[in-house]
Amino acid sequence: MACTLRLASDRARLGQPEIKLGLLPGYGGSQRLPRLIGQGAALKMILTGGIIDAAEALRIGLVDEVVAGDSDSGLMARACELAELIAGMPPLAVAASIEAVGRGADLPLDEALALEATIFGRLCGTEDKREGTAAFLEKRSAVWIGR
């Protein structure tokens, strides 16, 4: 639940069974789960100790993608594919996007929009932004330098 992107095998089964031990989900489980799937769905999982399959996890937003396959190697291959795709994006924009979403999620909308504008403005002055614009206009792939 603490990952930026969450993938699951189509054979995955997920749950928060701690209640059956007289506990609540620890390590952030009782706090991250409601933020991901909503308070009602989270309470249902937490209070019943129920286990859901990958399709249900995708439906409720607990995972972002379900990967079909007979082995975990397909899941790892897809994770690596996504990692390579993201690694090919401008690093400052990737970091700024993660920052804006993470910090803005708990702010009132007007404050979150102001945060977004501040971060956007910060990126406008970067060499990567100039390179991205030039590459777009010249119809070529950009070469990101992280500055």
Which class in CATH covers the domain with range 90-137?
Answer: mainly alpha
Domain ranges of the chain: 7-85, 90-137
SS3 99: helix
Mean pLDDT computed over every residue of the chain: 94
- Write the burial class of residue 112 (CB in 10 Å: 0-12 exposed, 13-18 middle, 19+ buried): middle
Task: Determine the average pLDDT of the residues in 113-134.
Answer: 97
Residue from 83, 80, 78, 56 nearest 68 by CA: 78
* 81-108 pLDDT, tens digit each: 999 999 999 999 999 999 999 999 989 9
Kindly report the CATH number that applies to the domain delimited by 7-85: 3.90.226.10
Does pLDDT of 31 surpass 80?
A: yes
Examine domains 7-85 and 90-137 and report if their fold is the same.
no
